[in-house]
Amino acid sequence: MSGARPVSLRRRLLRWVILTTLATVGLAATMAYRQALDDVQELIDALMAETAQLILTQISDNHAGSLPHRGTTLHSNEPRRSDLPLEFQIGLADGTVLARTENAPDVPLTATPGYADFQFGGEGWRSLTVESANRAYLVQLSLPEDIRDHEALEIAWRMLLPFGLMLPLMVGLIYFSIRRGLKPLDDLAAGVAARSPENLSALPPGAAPAEAQPLVGALNRLLGRVSTALDNERRFTADAAHELRTPLAALKIHAQVAMAGELPPPTRAALEKMQQGVDRTTRLVEQLLRLARLDPLERVAAPQSVDLAGLAAAAVDDAAAAARAGGRSLTLHADPAAGTVDGDPDLLGAALRNLIDNALRYTPAGGRVTVTAGRPDGRRQLGVTDDGPGVPAAELPRLAERFYRGSEPGAEGSGLGLAIVHRIAELHGARLELENLPGGGFSACLRWPAGPDPEEQEPA
């Protein structure tokens, strides 16, 4: 189910509203056609009755014997798109046909006077039989029902054509209305997505419509539980790390005291390894304490103007002895035009020292580590590059995860150094960018967005 495509509420609403609209239009079209059919039927019946009376009047005024046996189909005098051809038969009361049109259905004239529906020649017909006042003559008028249906369909079409032309506009308005109506949900989702992982404050009650208030309430309760759990975790980490510092320091002192005397070589080697383990554990405790202090922060308290070139030079001086002891070259390329950033110099110094320490640890003896401070593309940056083996490309996105030490066997460190650097970068509005260099080696860089130096900005 994790790969299933989520259902769009907007599309569901749009689909159902459009289907409902089309169903309503179809129902309206059916009702309009039926109404038009009834109206056309009434009109045709009235026309047939009027025409029949005119024919009977002419028969009364003229002798029936003068009527031609073959007559011409009668047509409506009113201009119409579709003609109404009326076929007729004129005859005596006993059914003798005196005159008829060529296309009139050949049915007996003895039918009961009035309207009737019948089948002739494979099609339906509507007829009206009328007798004269003296009951001597009969007149029968007929009209194919398909002409009546065509006339009704044309009338219904004319009624619905404007509505049909407006249908695309109506669909567009429906889509716009749905988007507009769901905008508060989009705003709520955008507000939640834009939050940093450290922002676990409750959503404002008015951030969503009434229908989404249960969701907002559930999110606020979840945010509260997560915030409480994180606070407990940070408090435990800080307390545990703080309590470990004293026994670790005492353990190291005892190891140093024990090594001051005459010891067999195996015992001295064991004590040296124990002291190295204490140093690693102490460094881990210090990193845990630093993370515990950084996690709750949303911004740097009391930021200062930090000179990036001076910061890089100080960090290189601090790490020079460790680089020489490991047989590695440590160089500095600091451009005075790198400028300054607002932040905490101690935190930025710790971040840069972590990057240098990582580079020295993973660069083989005889390798070179370079610390840079510059502004090559208009963005201030601090970087550390080395000519070591780099890391597998698949592991690059995970290097800043806490306690991730990579898949290489014998990897050193606690997996917290880059996590600390990443957190310090976030607090200073910078990005930690990690990459393998094309010619071999590895690069870790703190890069700030393009913009003027804080000291170059005019005071408000």
What's 42's domain CATH number?
Answer: 3.30.450
Q: pTM for the full model? A: 0.49
User: Within this chain, do residues 311 and 448 fall inside the same structural domain, yes or no?
Assistant: yes
User: Within this chain, do residues 13 and 94 fall inside the same structural domain, yes or no?
Assistant: yes
Among candidate residues 314, 321, 407, the one with its CA nearest the CA of residue 360: 321
Strand 431-436 and strand 340-343: pairing? unpaired
User: Within this chain, do residues 280 and 142 fall inside the same structural domain, yes or no?
Assistant: no
Q: Quote the domain boundaries for residue 84.
A: 9-156
Confirm whether 188 is domain-assigned: no
Confirm whether 164 is domain-assigned: no
Q: How many CB atoms lie within 10 A of CB 134?
A: 8
Confirm whether 116 is domain-assigned: yes
Question: Residue 79: its pLDDT value, please?
Answer: 43
Query: DSSP code of 406?
Result: -
Question: Residue 459: its pLDDT value, please?
Answer: 47
Confirm whether 187 is domain-assigned: no
Question: Residue 92: its pLDDT value, please?
Answer: 84
Confirm whether 172 is domain-assigned: no
User: Within this chain, do residues 333 and 246 fall inside the same structural domain, yes or no?
Assistant: no
Give per-residue pLDDT as tens, 409-428: 445 556 677 888 888 888 88
User: Within this chain, do residues 266 and 353 fall inside the same structural domain, yes or no?
Assistant: no
Confirm whether 193 is domain-assigned: no
User: Within this chain, do residues 315 and 399 fall inside the same structural domain, yes or no?
Assistant: yes
User: Within this chain, do residues 308 and 448 fall inside the same structural domain, yes or no?
Assistant: yes
Q: 266, 294, 322 — which closes off a domain?
A: 294
CA end-to-end distance (rounded Å), the chain: 54
Give per-residue pLDDT as tens, 202-235: 777 776 777 777 888 888 888 888 778 777 766 7
Question: Residue 427: its pLDDT value, please?
Answer: 85
User: Within this chain, do residues 61 and 94 fall inside the same structural domain, yes or no?
Assistant: yes
User: Within this chain, do residues 225 and 251 fall inside the same structural domain, yes or no?
Assistant: yes
pLDDT tens over the chain, length 460 residues: 445 566 677 778 888 888 888 888 788 888 887 887 788 888 888 888 888 888 888 776 655 444 554 445 555 544 444 457 788 888 887 778 888 888 888 888 776 788 888 888 888 888 888 888 788 888 888 888 887 788 777 777 777 777 777 778 887 888 888 778 777 777 777 777 777 666 777 777 776 777 777 888 888 888 888 778 777 766 766 666 666 667 777 777 877 777 777 778 888 788 788 877 777 777 666 666 666 666 666 677 778 898 999 999 999 998 888 888 888 999 999 888 888 889 888 888 888 988 998 888 888 888 899 999 988 888 899 999 998 888 888 888 888 877 676 656 445 556 677 888 888 888 888 899 999 988 888 999 999 987 666 655 544 4
Long-range contacts of 41-45 (CB under 8 A, 24+ apart): 41/126, 41/148, 41/152, 44/84, 44/126, 44/143, 44/148, 44/151, 45/115, 45/126, 45/128
Question: Residue 331: its pLDDT value, please?
Answer: 92
Residue 192 CA: distances (Å) to CA of 2, 142, 298, 429: 21, 75, 16, 20
Q: Into how many domains does the chain fold?
A: 3
User: Within this chain, do residues 443 and 359 fall inside the same structural domain, yes or no?
Assistant: yes
User: Within this chain, do residues 37 and 142 fall inside the same structural domain, yes or no?
Assistant: yes
Residue 288 CA: distances (Å) to CA of 85, 233, 298, 315: 99, 11, 18, 21
User: Within this chain, do residues 344 and 422 fall inside the same structural domain, yes or no?
Assistant: yes
Residue 42 CA from chain centroid, whole number:
56
Residue 302: Cβ-neighbour burial (10 angstroms; 0-12, 13-18, 19+): exposed
Confirm whether 197 is domain-assigned: no
Q: 294, 315, 340 — which closes off a domain?
A: 294
Distance, in Å, from the CA atom of 334 to the CA atom of 372, rounded to the nearest integer, reads 5
Whether residue 294 contacts residue 420, with contact meaning beta carbons closer than 8 Å, is answered with yes
